[in-house]
């Protein structure tokens, strides 16, 4: 059977993609940011996951005000890096896993999560930056990827509680897939950041670290944080962190932290990264 072996959380700041692509990742500014991913790159080489369910948000690249799916799952064969205004990033195409993705889509819909099924879309920095952080400069991504897009751009995003429950349903879906696959789930975005308006540049280290603490162990209190608290404490884009709760919900009752990294600033943003293992 397929096995959900680990959860990975990471910010997806587009500037990290630029630094990676322009080989500035070890300079004075980016060195401490990228150093926090060295452990994970080595660990991923040893883990050799077959598939990553990559929870991310599209930033008006594949979806815009014409269509706003709350939860969308990519069931396609492959996805191209999106052109976000400067041409597509020169990173490999993302290869999907249609069999597992359709299985998860079916299992989720029968489990009463009404997913939007997407067979064709381009994927933006929300998805490709975490891949670069975890795998570096590669000719091909070493995993198949099932994109799972969440609307956190246009109000109303889903609640943290709904995200956590979706994670639990994803875990049931993976566990019922008959092929022997090593599957990871990643939650991306965050941490505290506000990109516009009078509070642009808002960063809240104490709140971010409370959130990181809360992902470890057996408490599920994070699922009950209301939207207004993300907005007040972490800025208008901090709501991206609800996507981490899909990852956390999928890992079950208790988790153990294998690696943790937090750094300020990256662009106008606090970045966080964590690797979690489900506990029996």
Quote the CA–CA distance of 115 and 109 in Å, as a whole number: 6
Of 44-52, 86-94, 106-114, 267-275, the segment contacting ligand DHB by CB under 6 A is: 267-275
Is 12 an interacting residue with respect to ligand DHB (CB under 6 A)? yes
Site for ligand DHB in 42-71 (CB under 6 A): 59
Residue 209 and residue 180 in contact, taking contact as beta carbons nearer than 8 Å: no
Is 273 an interacting residue with respect to ligand DHB (CB under 6 A)? no
Is 270 an interacting residue with respect to ligand DHB (CB under 6 A)? no
In the complex, the smallest distance separating the C-beta of residue 57 from ligand DHB, rounded to whole angstroms, is: 8
Kindly give the residue spans of alpha helices, DSSP state H, lying in the chain: 14-21, 31-35, 38-47, 98-110, 125-135, 160-175, 205-215, 227-234, 242-250
Instruction: Sheet with 71-74: list strands edge to edge.
Output: 116-118, 71-74, 144-150, 51-56, 182-188, 3-10, 269-279, 254-266
Is 268 an interacting residue with respect to ligand DHB (CB under 6 A)? yes
In the complex, the smallest distance separating the C-beta of residue 268 from ligand DHB, rounded to whole angstroms, is: 5
| DSSP for 71-126, written as a single string | EEEE-SSEEEEPB-SS-B-SSPPEE--HHHHHHHHHHHHHTT--PEEESS-EE-HH
Quote the CA–CA distance of 105 and 111 in Å, as a whole number: 10
Quote the CA–CA distance of 29 and 40 in Å, as a whole number: 20
Q: What is the DSSP letter of 135?
A: H
Give 50 or 237: the residue with its C-beta nearer to ligand DHB. 237
The dihedral region occupied by 214, where left means phi > 0, alpha psi between -120 and 50, and beta the remainder, is alpha
Of 45-53, 137-145, 157-165, 266-274, the segment contacting ligand DHB by CB under 6 A is: 266-274
Q: Which residue has 């106008």 as its token pair?
A: 268
Of 39-47, 96-104, 132-140, 261-269, the segment contacting ligand DHB by CB under 6 A is: 261-269
Identify the active-site residue in 97, 193, 261, 273: 193
In the complex, the smallest distance separating the C-beta of residue 23 from ligand DHB, rounded to whole angstroms, is: 20
Is 13 an interacting residue with respect to ligand DHB (CB under 6 A)? yes
Is 188 an interacting residue with respect to ligand DHB (CB under 6 A)? no
Quote the CA–CA distance of 56 and 150 in Å, as a whole number: 6
Active site residue 259: no
In the complex, the smallest distance separating the C-beta of residue 80 from ligand DHB, rounded to whole angstroms, is: 19
Identify the active-site residue in 103, 125, 263, 273: 125
In the complex, the smallest distance separating the C-beta of residue 87 from ligand DHB, rounded to whole angstroms, is: 17
Give 4 or 129: the residue with its C-beta nearer to ligand DHB. 129
Count of residues engaged in binding ligand DHB, rule: CB under 6 A: 13
Active site residue 261: no
Is 193 an interacting residue with respect to ligand DHB (CB under 6 A)? yes
Quote the CA–CA distance of 128 and 91 in Å, as a whole number: 8
- Contacting residue, 151, 184, 204, 269, with ligand DHB by CB under 6 A: 269
| Active site residues per annotation | 125, 193
Per CB under 6 A, residues contacting ligand DHB are: 12-15, 59, 189, 193, 195, 237, 240, 267-269
């Amino acid at each position: 059977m397929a096995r959900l072996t680990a959860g990975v959380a990471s910010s997806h700041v587009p500037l990290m993609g630029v630094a990676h692509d322009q080989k500035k990742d070890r300079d004075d500014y980016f060195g401490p940011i990228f150093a926090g991913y060295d452990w994970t790159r080595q660990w991923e080489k040893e883990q050799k996951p077959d598939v990553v369910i990559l929870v991310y948000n599209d930033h008006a690249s594949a979806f815009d005000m014409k269509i706003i799916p709350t939860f969308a799952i990519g069931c396609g064969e492959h996805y191209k890096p999106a052109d976000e205004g400067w041409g597509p990033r020169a990173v490999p195409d993302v290869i999907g896993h249609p069999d597992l993705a359709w299985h998860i889509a079916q299992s989720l819909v029968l489990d009463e999560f009404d997913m939007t099924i997407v067979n064709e879309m381009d994927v933006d920095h929300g998805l490709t930056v975490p891949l670069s952080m975890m795998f570096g400069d590669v000719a091909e991504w070493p995993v198949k990827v099932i994109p799972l897009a969440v609307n956190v751009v246009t109000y109303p995003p889903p609640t943290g509680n709904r995200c956590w429950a979706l994670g639990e349903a994803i875990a049931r879906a993976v566990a019922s897939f008959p092929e022997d696959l090593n599957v990871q789930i990643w939650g991306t975005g965050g941490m505290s950041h506000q990109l516009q308006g009078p509070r642009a540049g808002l960063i809240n280290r104490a709140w971010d670290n409370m959130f990181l603490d809360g992902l470890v162990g057996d408490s599920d209190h994070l699922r009950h944080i209301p939207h207004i608290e993300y907005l007040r404490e972490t800025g208008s884009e901090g709501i991206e962190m609800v996507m981490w709760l899909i990852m956390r919900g999928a890992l079950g009752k208790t988790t153990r932290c294998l690696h943790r990294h937090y750094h300020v600033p990256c662009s106008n943003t606090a970045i966080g990264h964590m690797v979690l293992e489900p506990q029996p």
